[in-house]
Amino acid sequence: MAQAMAFGPMDGVDGVDGVDGVEGLDTLGGGPRQAVFRPLGLAPEFVRRANEVDYRSHRWPPRPPNVPWPPPIGSLPGAWPTAPGGIARRLADFTPDNSSLLVLAEFVQLKDAQNRDAWARLMASNDMANDIAAHGGVPAELDELRRLAQYRGGVMAEALAQRNGIIGYFRGLLQFNLATHPYTYHLAAAALRVGQFLCMHYKGQFNRPRPNRLDPSVMSPIDPPGHSSYPSGHSLQSFLIARCLEQVVPTAVGTGLATSPYMLLAERIAKLREVLGVHYPSDTTAGRRVAGTAFPLLMRCPLIRGTPVLDTQNVPNNEVGQVAGHPIYHNGWFGRAREEWEPR
């Protein structure tokens, strides 16, 4: 698979594995993210006009003789149509990068009376002092990072790829991509974006220094990100994606495991940030906990949850089940993602 696993701030917008770069296929319709350049010059008309020795120019918009074009709306039979009042939004009109911002905008508005308590729990879900104490204190955490450093040689390529390629690893579990499972992919991108927002909220709140600022012997093989350490963004984002996927993908996958393969992968991604020496174990713990608290709220975002379609008895007839204690409807991203794996 190509190494280009990042697209701007969005991890892993590589769902078609380079097919978008096959420019020769653009004449077949083009990809949704390909820029198009359409020069319009002065071209000759298709044929010369009768009794004229030269071609006339064909401008755009064209001006056929004695016929207004486009015809004034409503003035002629078959006149140029007006756009309908409501044009449904198409998922393919948005890159995962941009669609994740739509979900984030919904997520931050979940502060109404119905969701106020859940939002308050989320905002209060971190306690850095207790997390550090649970891991034996800062000296014990730094000692743990020195112990983990022995694994750097064996995981360096993997850890570096995961810096901006989280979704790419989750795709590898079941070989899905943006072309084959678009709703699953956009759902994972939304989880990534919401996780990014939450980890930055807490990082600004706690402002914990990176490990090597306290102990130079930890010396990371990469430059740690400039922002603060607590909680781990990779931990929060990975566990939030894992929670989404384990609800979407068929339950038969991972049968017999105490932990889903998605959670096992999230654990690995989070742990490798400790191996690199850029996060403390308590950062990882906090990220996992925030993901668990945020998941029910993510499921309440209208784009992901969907909207009820009521029957004649005013009862929803498109509910596909409940996730995190709340109904999920078929017309939301979550319901459509589930159908990509188990068609109705």
Q: What pLDDT sits at residue 171? A: 92
Tell which residue, 171, 158, 291, 278, has the closest CA to residue 225. Answer: 278
Residue 44 lies in a domain: no
List all residues 6 or more positions away from 166 whose beta carbon is below 8 Å from its beta carbon.
11, 12, 192, 234, 237, 238, 241, 269
Q: What is the pLDDT of residue 187?
A: 96
Return the structure tokens found at 34.
Answer: 């390909």
Q: DSSP per residue over 205-258, as a string?
A: HH-PPPHHHH-GGG--SSPPPSS--SS-HHHHHHHHHHHHHHHHS-TTTTTT-S
Please state which of the ranges 1-15, 114-128, 330-344 shows the lowest mean pLDDT.
1-15
Question: Does residue 20 fall inside a structural domain?
Answer: no
pLDDT for 194 beyond 90: yes
Q: Is residue 103 part of a domain?
A: yes
32: pLDDT strictly greater than 70:
no
Q: What is the mean pLDDT of residues 120-146?
A: 93
For 60-81, what is the mean pLDDT? Answer: 65
Whether 318 is covered by a domain: the verdict is no
pLDDT at 7: 38
In a domain, residue 342? The reply is no
**How far, in Å, CA of 203 to CA of 67, rounded?**
65
Arithmetic mean of pLDDT, 281-295 = 95
- pLDDT band for position 344 (cuts 50, 70, 90): confident
- Closest C-alpha to 283, from 292, 270, 295: 270
Flag whether pLDDT at 29 surpasses 80.
no
Question: Does 228 map to a domain?
Answer: yes
Identify the CA nearest to 232 among candidates 267, 186, 261, 184.
Answer: 267
Which pLDDT belongs to residue 18?
A: 33
The boundaries of the domain holding residue 132 are 96-305
Rounded-to-10 torsion of CA 230, 234, 235, 240 = 120
For the domain that residue 268 is a member of, what is the CATH number?
1.20.144.10
Helix then strand count (H, E) for the chain reads: 13, 6
* Structural domains counted in the chain: 1
- Is 333 domain-assigned? no
Q: What is the CA 49 to chain-centroid distance, rounded?
A: 56
Residue 12 in any domain: the answer is no
Average pLDDT over the chain reads: 83
Tell me the average pLDDT across 126-151: 95
* Residue labelled with tokens 């306290």: 214
Q: Which helix (H) or strand (E) holds 12?
A: none
Residues 6 or more apart whose CB falls under 8 angstroms from that of 275 comprise 148, 149, 151, 152, 155, 159
Evaluated on CA atoms 85, 307, 124, 163, the torsion sign reads: negative
H or E stretch including 301? none
Report pTM.
Answer: 0.80
